[in-house]
């Protein structure tokens, strides 16, 4: 999912995935696609409220659940007590900087030979999150 995408194209994308593109849904999905900073429900709601003054958090919750159900959004869990959402596609890892709190994406590859203890298990999802200090915060010292 590219960041630059017209509302019309987003609407088509939603339809293709079985989501009727209401105004709220379009705006929420547009936000997810344009803001790859893994927002929380609250962040999304606060950001959209100026544009959609009647938007309720319930609708944000409903909409995100729907997106997840349709497979176009992913819920990532780094800390407890803060769900974060991601207009998901390919599997990728998340790096949280302990200084600036930013969450960065990264690509990973894990070979079967690098894992032991769950031989014979069927693995459907691989989630990785790392924590540490990002390059920017390191260079600021």
Partner DNA sequence: GTATCTGCAAAACATTTGCAATTCT
Partner DNA sequence: AGAATTGCAAATGTTTTGCAGATAC
Which residue lies nearer to a second copy by CB, 10 or 64? 64
How many of the other CB atoms lie within 10 Å of CB of 21? 16
104 contributes a contact to a second copy by CB under 8 A: yes
Which window, 62-70, 99-107, 111-119, 122-130, contacts DNA (CB under 7 A)?
62-70
40 contributes a contact to DNA by CB under 7 A: yes
Please check whether residue 81 is in contact with residue 116, taking contact to mean a CB–CB distance below 8 angstroms.
Answer: no
Residue among 99, 100, 36, 88 nearest 64 (CA): 88
115 contributes a contact to a second copy by CB under 8 A: yes
Give CA separation, 39 vs 64, 65, 84, in Å.
12, 14, 5
How many binding residues for a second copy (CB under 8 A)? Answer: 44
Task: Name the 3-class secondary structure at 77.
Answer: strand
59 contributes a contact to DNA by CB under 7 A: yes
Q: Which residues bind DNA (CB under 7 A)?
A: 20, 22-25, 40-42, 52, 54-59, 61-63, 65, 80-83
């Amino acid at each position: 999912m590219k960041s630059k995408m017209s509302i019309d194209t987003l609407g088509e994308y939603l339809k293709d995935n079985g989501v009727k593109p209401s105004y709220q849904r379009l705006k929420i999905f547009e936000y997810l696609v344009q803001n790859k900073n893994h927002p929380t429900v609250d962040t999304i709601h606060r950001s959209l409220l100026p544009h959609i003054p009647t938007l309720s958090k319930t609708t944000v919750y409903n909409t995100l659940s729907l997106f997840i159900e349709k497979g176009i959004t992913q819920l990532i869990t780094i800390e407890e007590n803060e769900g974060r959402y991601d207009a998901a596609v390919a599997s990728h890892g998340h790096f949280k900087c302990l200084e600036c709190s930013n969450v960065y994406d990264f690509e990973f590859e894990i070979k079967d030979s690098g894992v032991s203890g769950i031989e014979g298990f069927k693995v459907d999802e691989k989630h990785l999150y790392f924590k540490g200090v990002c390059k920017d915060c390191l260079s600021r010292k």
